[in-house]
Every structure is written in structure tokens, then in C-alpha cells.
């Protein structure tokens, strides 16, 4: 090893440790407070300077992609598993329960379902591709459940967005005193989604208006 190469390895090792610490800190901060957490707070949690965070992640979208990539993989996998369930209604219910469970423990994940990214890079594009894939699978999950006769015919795929908005309120209100309350709420809603003696519903809101409302409720994350 020459004198000129000696300093390189410690710097690379430090950079790797810093990146790992930043991602872990971002995961915790996003889960607790959503995707709007300031970079200086993430830096403080990671034990690094804010400039180091910006050096490793030049924009918020890049940090979100690194911190929530695994969570988005889980989200997409949940949809694939629901489609693989032979009983279409059980697949539908299992998916709704799993997504609501993911939301209950991670506010950042809930934000991620509706946020739009202005920044374009491979990591962000991959994140959005997985989210889009899960959405396509969700539409198929709904069609299968309706075809089975178990899901009410006027259920709209965007009713899941409404459920997530309501669930976010339940989670926020009961997290400290009664953290499992959201599960009861979700089971009530699944019973309401079931076909049977269900009465007609008002028309669903426009999707853009609904997503805008969800972003306003949860806070939108700048790119």
C-alpha cells in the first residue's frame, strides 16, 4: 500500500458508516413524523453534520428512496401475495389489513403512497415503479373480489385512500392510550365493504381531489 492510497480506505469506511447512520435516522424520523422532517433533525439523530446529509443525499427524494425502499418492496409484495390467495375475498381483506398495519407503524409510509417526486434519479424511479405496480395489482385485487360476489359492487379502488385517511386519524388519536384501536376500525370497514344488504353509496370523489386531501392531511414532502 502506498502513502497516497493509505487515507482512502478510512474515508470510504467513514462515508459508508455515515450513510448507514443517515438512512437509519431517516427511517426513524419519517416513521414518527412523516416525510417533512427537516434535514438538520435527521443529521442530529445520525450524529453527523447537515452538510454530510446533503453530500450523501443531494435532495429529499433520494433520501426517501434510500430510507423507504424496503418498505415499498413490502407494499408491492403484499399486493402480489393477495393476488396469489385462492380466495379473492380473503386476498382483498388480507391486503387491506396489511397495508393499514404498515401505515399504523410508519407515518412516512402513509405519506409515500400519495407524494409526487419532482426529482428524477434511478432510485426514485424504481421506488415509483414499485408503487405503480402495487397500484395495478390493487385494481386487480378489487376486480377479483367483486367477481367473487363478496365485495360490494359499488366499492371504488380509491375507497382505500379514504380508509387510510380515516385510519391515520384513529392511529394519531389513540397511539399513546390505545394503540390497537385502528384494528377494530379496519375490521368495521371490511364488514362495510362486504356485499350483502349494503345500501347504495354516494359517488366517490375525484381521484385528484382525494389525493390532494390526503396530502394536506398528512403533509406533502418536497422533492
Query: Span 13-25, mean pLDDT?
Result: 92
What's the pLDDT score for residue 221?
A: 47
Query: Span 89-102, mean pLDDT?
Result: 96
What's the pLDDT score for residue 27?
A: 96
Say how many C-beta atoms besides its own lie within 10 A of residue 92's C-beta. 25
CA 137 to CA 213: how far, in whole Å? 24
**Residues 73, 131 contacting (CB under 8 angstroms):** no
Percent of the chain having pLDDT more than 90? 57
**All 3 cell numbers of residue 176?**
399513546
What's the pLDDT score for residue 4?
A: 40
122-147 vs 60-84: helix crossing angle, rounded to 10: 30
What's the pLDDT score for residue 180?
A: 85
What's the pLDDT score for residue 11?
A: 44
Rounded to two decimals, the pTM is 0.79
What's the pLDDT score for residue 193?
A: 96
What's the pLDDT score for residue 8?
A: 43
Tens of pLDDT, residue by residue over 48-61, are: 999 999 999 989 99
CA 82 to CA 94: how far, in whole Å? 7
What's the pLDDT score for residue 117?
A: 80
- The phi and psi torsions of 42 (rounded to 5 degrees) equal -65, -40
What's the pLDDT score for residue 30?
A: 94
What's the pLDDT score for residue 218?
A: 55
Tens of pLDDT, residue by residue over 160-214, are: 988 988 888 888 888 888 888 899 999 999 999 999 876 777 787 787 877 777 6
CA 123 to CA 35: how far, in whole Å? 17
Q: Quick one: which of 108, 211, 130, 102 has its CA closest to 165?
A: 211
Three-state secondary structure readout of 126-187: HHHHHHHHHHHHHHHHHHHHHHCCCECCCCCCCHHHHHHHHHHHHHHHHCCCCCCHHHHHHH
Please tell me the least confidently modeled range out of 62-66, 161-165, 213-217: 213-217
Sign (positive or negative) of CA dihedral 37, 41, 45, 50: positive
**All 3 cell numbers of residue 74?**
413490502
CA 79 to CA 132: how far, in whole Å? 11
- For residue 9, pLDDT over 70 is answered with no
What's the pLDDT score for residue 144?
A: 98
What's the pLDDT score for residue 3?
A: 42
| DSSP letter for each residue of 58-97 | SSHHHHHHHHHHHHHHHHHHHHHHHHH-SSHHHHHHHHHH
**Residues 100, 189 contacting (CB under 8 angstroms):** no
Q: Please state, rounded to an integer, the average pLDDT across all residues of the chain.
A: 86
- The phi and psi torsions of 164 (rounded to 5 degrees) equal -65, -35
Sign (positive or negative) of CA dihedral 201, 207, 212, 216: positive
- For residue 66, pLDDT over 70 is answered with yes
What's the pLDDT score for residue 83?
A: 97
Read off the pLDDT band of 62 (50, 70, 90): very high
Query: Span 146-155, mean pLDDT?
Result: 96
Amino acid at each position: 500500500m502506498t502513502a497516497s492510497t493509505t487515507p482512502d480506505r478510512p474515508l470510504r469506511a467513514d462515508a459508508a458508516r455515515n450513510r448507514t447512520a443517515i438512512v437509519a435516522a431517516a427511517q426513524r424520523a419519517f416513521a414518527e413524523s412523516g416525510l417533512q422532517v427537516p434535514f438538520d433533525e435527521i443529521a442530529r439523530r445520525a450524529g453527523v453534520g447537515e452538510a454530510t446529509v446533503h453530500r450523501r443525499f443531494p435532495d429529499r427524494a433520494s433520501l426517501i428512496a434510500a430510507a423507504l425502499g424496503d418498505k415499498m418492496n413490502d407494499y408491492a409484495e403484499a399486493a402480489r401475495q393477495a393476488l396469489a390467495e385462492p380466495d379473492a375475498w380473503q386476498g382483498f381483506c388480507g391486503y387491506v389489513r396489511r397495508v393499514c398495519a404498515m401505515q399504523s407503524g410508519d407515518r412516512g409510509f402513509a405519506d409515500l403512497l400519495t407524494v409526487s417526486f419532482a426529482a428524477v434519479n434511478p432510485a426514485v424511479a424504481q421506488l415509483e415503479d414499485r408503487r405503480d405496480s402495487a397500484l395495478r395489482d390493487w385494481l386487480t385485487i378489487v376486480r377479483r373480489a367483486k367477481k367473487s360476489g363478496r365485495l360490494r359492487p359499488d366499492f371504488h379502488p380509491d375507497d382505500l385512500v379514504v380508509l387510510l385517511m380515516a385510519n391515520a386519524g384513529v392511529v394519531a388519536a389513540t397511539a399513546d392510550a390505545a394503540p390497537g384501536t385502528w384494528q377494530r376500525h379496519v375490521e368495521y370497514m371490511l364488514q362495510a365493504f362486504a356485499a350483502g344488504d349494503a345500501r347504495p353509496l354516494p359517488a366517490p370523489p375525484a381521484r385528484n381531489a382525494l389525493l390532494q386531501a390526503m396530502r394536506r392531511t398528512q403533509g406533502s414532502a418536497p422533492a
